[in-house]
Structure 1
Amino acid sequence: MDISHVRERLSEVLARVECTRRPVVLTSDGQDVGAFLPLQMYRALIEEREAVFEALAQAVAKQPQYPEEEVERDIAEAIAAIRGKGAASRI
């Protein structure tokens, strides 16, 4: 949804997010620039993110003999995999 439309109808867009419990992706000049998420979804994403980083920290702590570059590569791959799963609906 283009930002100019959102500016004009912010309360309507937020009500839509709340009612449908689905994200709305914001665009500017055809490029994705942000999103409105239902609060419950946002909180779940934050919890998942924290859990992933905690699991990574524990894995690194158990295997300190791995080279830092390898660990960083594995983290980057894990982040890319997580970001590749599921995308917000575009409206």
Structure 2
Amino acid sequence: MRMLGAALAFISLFTGSSTSTPPADMPLRDAKYYEANPAEMPPMQTICEQWKASKVPVTAFPSVVVSNCHAVLEASEFAKRQAALRAYRGEK
């Protein structure tokens, strides 16, 4: 009986707590790509947030995810700087 309980606990440990990792099958993009294709930024930002919220250690993130997340952040900051510059100049 004791062995059955241990076996069930072991099985439930692996079947009940299956955490899926966020998507990582994606092409490598750079900041210039996201600057030219701003509609691609929100989906990638969502993936970046999913990875940040996952229990996967940062050192285990796939390099394509890290690179794309940095590229999205860089493109986003560039867009903000450009908008601020246009506002400062009085442009639309």
* Fold match by TM threshold 0.5: no
RCO comparison, higher one (Cα < 8 Å, 6+): 2
Larger Rg: 2
Between Structure 1 and Structure 2, which shows a larger proportion of helix residues? 2
Q: Which has the higher strand share?
A: 1
| TM-score normalised to structure 1 length | 0.32
